[in-house]
Amino acid sequence: MSNILVVVGSARVGRVAEKVLEYIKADIKDRDDVTITVADLAVLNLPFYNNEQPAMSPTHVQTDENVATWSKLVSETDGVVFITPEYNHNLSAIQKNALDWLFTEWNDKPTTAIAYGWTGGSLAVAALREVLTNVKADIKQDMAQLGFMKDLNPDGSILDEESVTAQITAAIDGVLVSDAVPATAK
């Protein structure tokens, strides 16, 4: 059984991420032996990164309860799918902050993104790749990039169902087809 963590990277009221999450759930519900856990960063309420040591430091000590919950969610999953909005040609601040809190939890973790925005989230994907490379995640090549007025309406409703479905399926397939040791076996 594979458990996929889906990270909702937007805190905006009326966010498109809610609809993208439903499209992901629809894909996963038809798969055998795959479960989904959702980490909504707006609900998780992580503090701004304020630790004296970087997360990669051997002397880094975690004391915040919400960060401990976040760490456990990432550690106990087999792969991560980020729902990534593009804000000002970059990741959302809430998503970057969540990434900054962890390091070893990301090491060799199969990861992908389903991004959206006016440019299909391409610039957010580039920024996400850079951060995930730094934390040594196992980045999968198939990252969905859903463009407004091409794949989605600005409200998140589907314009091109075939494209959206194919991109989401490819992204999830990439996380599931991995040589990584399942989190439960570590």
CA dist., res. 31 & res. 175, Å (int): 13
Residues 22-48 have a mean pLDDT of 95
Instruction: State phi, psi for 78 to the nearest 5 degrees.
Output: -90, -20
Binned at pLDDT 50, 70 and 90, residue 185 comes out as very low
pLDDT at 35 over 50: yes
pLDDT at 182 over 50: no
Q: Render pLDDT for 102-121 as a digit per residue (tens, 0 to 9).
A: 999 999 999 999 999 998 99
pLDDT at 177: 72
pLDDT at 68 over 50: yes
pLDDT at 178: 54
Q: How does the average pLDDT of the chain come out, rounded? A: 91
Q: Render pLDDT for 125-150 as a digit per residue (tens, 0 to 9).
A: 999 999 999 999 999 988 899 999 89
Highest mean predicted confidence (pLDDT) among 60-64, 70-74, 118-122? 70-74
CB 71 within 8 A of CB 106: no
CB 15 within 8 A of CB 87: no
Q: Render pLDDT for 93-103 as a digit per residue (tens, 0 to 9).
A: 999 999 999 99
For the chain, the DSSP string reads: -EEEEEEE----TT-THHHHHHHHHHHHHTSTTEEEEEEEHHHH-PPPP--SS-TTSTT-----HHHHHHHHHHHT-SEEEEEEE-BTTB--HHHHHHHHT-STTTTT-EEEEEEEETTTTHHHHHHHHHHHHHTT-EE-S--EEEEBTTTB-TTS-BS-HHHHHHHHHHHHHHHHS--SPPGGG-
Domain range summary for the chain, segments of one domain joined by +:
2-185
Query: What is the pTM for the complete model shown?
Result: 0.91
Residues 157-168 have a mean pLDDT of 95
- % the chain with pLDDT above 90: 83
pLDDT at 64 over 70: yes
CA dist., res. 154 & res. 41, Å (int): 21
Superfamily the domain 2-185 falls into: Flavodoxin domain (3.40.50.360)
pLDDT at 31: 94
